[in-house]
Structure 1
Amino acid sequence: MAKKIAFKGFSFACSALMVLAGGITTSAFAQAQNVDQPKRFPQLTMENIAPQSKILAQEIVAISSVGLSGPYNVMLRSPVFAERMKRLLDYLRFETSLPKRLNEFAILIQGRLWTSQVEWFAHYPLALKAGLPASVADDLKANIRPRGMQPDEEVVYDVCMTLSQQHEISNALFDRAKAILGEQQLVDLVAVTGTYVTVAMLLSLGEESVAANKALPFPEKGR
């Protein structure tokens, strides 16, 4: 019988994403977003962004399916931070030692812990494309410890969940994770799951959401 898992201390409906090129412009995405109330951070565009952030903005638009919306609309309020965060995200998404299937699973775990519309919407298809079984992702979404996980997926789940909820892991879990992933992959796992908490906070701060014409992954949370 599937065991229900407890998600503690995460009540914001937001999160992070960095999606490969998808062909939607910043203005188009902004127009599609919920317009019932003004955004906390007015939408940045290539026309109104600070001069020192122009080059970075061009790099973001080249790879991001949300253009300068989503987390970038918040991050770019602090240009130096945004530039360094972008470099970190580049590593964690495209250069990390962790297999993409496991990397996306770690991101989805934070998406579920934060009940994040944005993160789940963006990374669910990426996780499946990378080889994560839909049944594992769907159990996670349903607040169930995923059934049928491979040993490396179990380690990712246990490390991310335990650190997020208990803020420490046992020697036994550490030894199991190190044996399965190795030192570098284990460190990269913690780096990606922790970084996506930061991005989740940024999205929560800005109340950024998915496009209004898209179904919410967690409709009970609303927009």
Structure 2
Amino acid sequence: MKGPTGARLPEFDRAAASPEQLAVLDEILTGPRGNLAGPFLAWIASPELAQHAQQLGAFCRYRTGLPLRLSELAILVTAAQWRAQAEWQIHYPIAIEAGVTESAAEALLRGRRPDFADADEALIYNFAIELYDAKRVSDMTFAKAVQRFGHATTVNLVGLLGYYALVSMTLNVFAMREDDDAPLPFME
């Protein structure tokens, strides 16, 4: 089974997979993702975790109420915070295609605050950075998020950030890369 590489992962053999592993594998491959990019080759070792995580991931990626550009910005902020190589490799082109500027992505990659022309992008960045750095979000930033996006979408933003932190941790622990031959975005 071809997918992201990881030095700490055994080769996944579909022929030796359990029925539970095959069920979650088929759901991932027939769902909106259609591939095993990201943490799924690690999670498949625990099919129950893989099932719950992939369902949460599908929600966080496609149904948060945020435009794709803002979701992808939040994912890039998370990848940069965790220095998750594969997360960046996978989501950088998606983010650029969704409208995140290359200069904003480059600033995130370098650990700097981007110069945002868009207030929504600045709000997503501020929310994510406050949550990751302070482990809280200020009353002012929270109020701005709820005013702009609504309460449910703000809850979903927290879920998106938490889910992609889990993804980043998984990718980092299992030394996963989207492409072993590509230069790494972050210093190891």
Residues 72-87 of structure 1: pairs in structure 2 closer than 5 A: 72-87=40-55
Mapped pair 1:56 → 2:10: no
- 1:69 deviates by 6.1
Q: Distance in 1 between matches of 2:115 and 2:163?
A: 26
Q: Distance in 2 between matches of 1:103 and 1:172?
A: 21
Q: Distance in 1 between matches of 2:59 and 2:66?
A: 11
Q: Partner residue of 2:9?
A: 41
Change (3 A) 1:215 1:61: farther
Amino acid across the alignment from 2:46? S
Q: Partner residue of 2:145?
A: 177
Q: Partner residue of 1:131?
A: 99
Q: Distance in 2 between matches of 1:102 and 1:211?
A: 25
Q: Partner residue of 1:7?
A: none
Unmatched runs of 5 consecutive residues or more in structure 1: 1-25
TM-score (norm 2): 0.90
Mapped pair 1:163 → 2:131: yes
Q: Partner residue of 2:181?
A: 213
| Aligned counterpart for 2:161 among listed residues 172, 183, 193 | 193
Q: Distance in 1 between matches of 2:182 and 2:128?
A: 28
Q: Partner residue of 1:97?
A: 65
* Farther off after superposition, 177-186 or 39-48: 39-48
* Contact in 2 for aligned 1:111/1:120 (Cα 8 Å): yes
Amino acid across the alignment from 2:62? F
SS in 1 for 2:66: coil
* Contact in 1 for aligned 2:84/2:171 (Cα 8 Å): no
Q: Distance in 2 between matches of 1:178 and 1:152?
A: 12
Q: Distance in 1 between matches of 2:64 and 2:13?
A: 30
- 1:158 deviates by 0.6
Change (3 A) 1:79 1:119: same
Unmatched runs of 5 consecutive residues or more in structure 2: none
Residues 114-129 of structure 1: pairs in structure 2 closer than 5 A: 114-129=82-97
Mapped pair 1:145 → 2:113: yes
Alpha-carbon deviations, 1:13-54, whole Å to 9, x = none? xxxxxxxxxxxxx33x46xx47xxxx3230213222222221
Alpha-carbon deviations, 1:67-94, whole Å to 9, x = none? 4464112111211111111111111112
Higher helix content, 1 or 2: 2
- 1:64 deviates by 4.6
* Contact in 1 for aligned 2:130/2:138 (Cα 8 Å): no
Amino acid across the alignment from 1:112? A
CA RMSD of superposed structures (Å):
1.9
- 1:126 deviates by 0.6
